[in-house]
Every structure is written in structure tokens, then in C-alpha cells.
């Protein structure tokens, strides 16, 4: 490959790799260049600064309340969670109160969220944190994942939102956005794909990981939706590989 085609400071090998990545009609599992991911992040955060949603769990830095909110948000829209979250902490204002509440009392409050099987996990996780961690929500991914009902997504969300850590999150909405924008291939369980996780890790590697992760969640909820995405309002449309 003639070196004159390369960008300044770019090796021919890097050029070939990136050319194949962006060649029309081609998709791959290659992680996009960091500069592209940084541009992607900057534009989403700029959009979020003007259009971000306001929820009560975003107005607190209390790790336990954020943990409970993230557990509620699993498979549930944020607007549905708002009133349930407010009611729960109005009646049981802290970890100790939730830990002492019986399952029937919690079920009465959490019923509107559906998925009845989740209800015992809320009291259980509160008691676990009280007994194992002296009422302090852990601040590592491994320890958080040891809690009942907590997986990679919830652990990453708590770490970035509560502790402002550079911790990645991936859900089906984020996979969809990465696939559309970068033109990558993903498996059926895309949130487990190594290249998808690597993109998420690069994306959140900034000075404001909390805002970066909240921004991408709102962007996928309001703009890059599963059906009828708002491409005409999308600040990413010029570089996006997806065509509405």
C-alpha cells in the first residue's frame, strides 16, 4: 500500500486495517480507532448536555440508592421506575430500613415493575451489603458482582455513576448503537462480545465517565431507538454507517 495514502503519522499497516474496517459493504469485529471512539463520545456528551433526562437516582451519589435504581431498571423503562423508586425510599429511606423490610412489604411497592421474581433480591442485597460489607456498597466490579442480582451491567453502572469510575457498561441498546454507528458485526449475545466490550472500555476512558455512560443511555433511549430511530436529529449521522 503506497505510503502517500496514509494519514500523517499512520503506518501502512494501520491504514490497511482501518481501510478494511470502513470499506463500503464490509463489517467486522475489529475495534475502531480510538480517535473515532473519542469523537463519537464527545458528540454524544455534547448532545446529553442539552437533552439529558432528569431522574431522582441521578440526583444522588448514594451508592446504595443507585444500586437499587439500577436493579429496578433491568428490563424496565426509566419512566416506569421513577415513582416506584421514590415510593420505596420514602418508606424505607436507607439501606438498614430496606434490609429490615419484609418481602411482602417490598413486593407491595415493587409490584408495578412486574417481574415478581426480582422482589426478594432487593431485601437480600441490602442484607448482604449490611452483613458482608458493613453497610458500605463495594467499589470494585468483582465484589459488586458477588451481590445477589448484580451482574456486569449493574456493577459497571454503579461504579461509574456512584463512584465516577472508568467502568464500562453494555446492554442491548448500546450494542445496537455501536453496530449501527461503527458498522461492526455482533453475535446474538452482543453484550458479551469482546470487541463490543473493548469499545465500551475505550468510550468510558475519559475524565467524566459518569456523564459519558449516562449520555449513551439517554442517546439510545431517545435518538438511536430500536424502531424508527431519529436520524434527522442525530448528531452522529454524518459518520454513521446506518442508513435510515
Asked if residue 3 belongs to a domain, the reply is: no
Q: Is 201 domain-assigned?
A: no
| Residue 160 in grid coordinates | 461509574
Q: What would the pLDDT profile of 26-65 be if each residue is shown by its tens digit?
A: 456 789 999 999 999 999 999 999 999 999 999 999 999 9
Task: Give the range of the structural domain holding residue 133, as residue numbers without chain letter.
Answer: 56-163
Question: Which CATH number is 70's domain given?
Answer: 1.10.340.30
Residue 210 lies in a domain: no
Strand partners, 98: none
Q: What's phi and psi for 233, nearest 5 deg?
A: -105, 5
Q: Which of 167, 161, 172, 177 is nearest to 214 (CA)?
A: 161
- Rounded Cα–Cα distance for residues 184 and 27 (Å): 5
Whole-prediction pTM: 0.86
Domain contains 62? yes
Assigned domain for 61 exists: yes
How many structural domains are present in the chain? Answer: 1
The pLDDT assigned to 7 comes to 40
**Which of 16-30, 81-95, 168-182, 211-225 shows the lowest mean pLDDT across its residues?**
16-30
pLDDT one-digit tens code per residue, 109-126 = 999 998 777 889 999 999
**Closest C-alpha among 114, 112, 118, 125 to residue 82:** 112
Band the pLDDT of 243: cuts 50, 70, 90. Answer: confident
pLDDT of residue 13: 52
In a domain, 34, yes or no: no
Structural domain contains residue 208: no
User: 141 in a domain, yes or no?
Assistant: yes
3-state secondary structure of 193: coil
- The model's pLDDT over 79-119, given as tens digits with 9 standing for 90+, comes to 999 999 999 999 999 999 999 999 999 999 999 998 777 88
Amino acid at each position: 500500500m503506497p505510503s502517500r495514502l496514509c494519514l500523517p503519522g499512520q503506518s501502512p499497516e494501520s491504514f490497511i486495517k482501518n481501510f478494511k474496517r470502513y470499506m463500503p459493504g464490509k463489517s467486522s469485529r475489529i475495534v475502531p480507532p480510538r480517535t473515532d471512539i473519542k469523537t463519537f463520545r464527545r458528540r454524544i456528551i455534547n448532545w446529553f448536555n442539552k437533552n439529558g433526562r432528569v431522574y431522582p437516582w441521578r440526583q444522588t451519589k448514594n451508592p446504595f440508592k443507585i444500586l437499587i435504581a439500577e436493579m429496578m431498571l433491568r428490563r424496565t423503562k426509566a419512566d416506569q421506575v421513577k415513582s416506584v423508586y421514590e415510593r420505596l425510599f420514602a418508606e424505607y429511606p436507607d439501606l438498614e430500613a430496606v434490609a429490615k423490610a419484609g418481602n411482602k412489604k417490598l413486593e407491595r411497592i415493587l409490584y408495578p415493575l412486574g417481574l415478581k421474581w426480582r422482589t426478594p433480591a432487593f431485601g437480600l442485597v441490602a442484607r448482604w451489603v449490611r452483613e458482608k460489607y458493613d453497610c458500605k456498597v463495594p467499589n470494585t466490579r468483582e465484589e459488586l458482582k458477588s451481590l445477589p442480582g448484580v451482574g456486569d451491567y449493574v456493577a459497571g453502572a454503579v461504579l461509574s455513576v456512584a463512584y465516577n469510575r472508568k467502568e464500562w457498561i453494555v446492554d442491548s441498546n448500546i450494542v445496537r448503537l455501536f453496530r449501527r454507528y461503527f458498522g461492526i458485526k455482533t453475535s446474538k449475545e452482543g453484550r458479551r462480545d469482546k470487541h463490543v466490550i473493548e469499545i465500551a472500555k475505550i468510550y468510558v476512558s475519559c475524565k467524566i465517565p459518569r456523564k459519558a455512560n449516562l449520555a449513551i443511555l439517554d442517546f439510545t433511549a431517545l435518538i438511536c431507538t430500536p424502531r424508527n430511530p431519529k436520524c434527522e436529529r442525530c448528531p452522529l449521522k454524518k459518520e454513521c454507517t446506518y442508513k435510515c
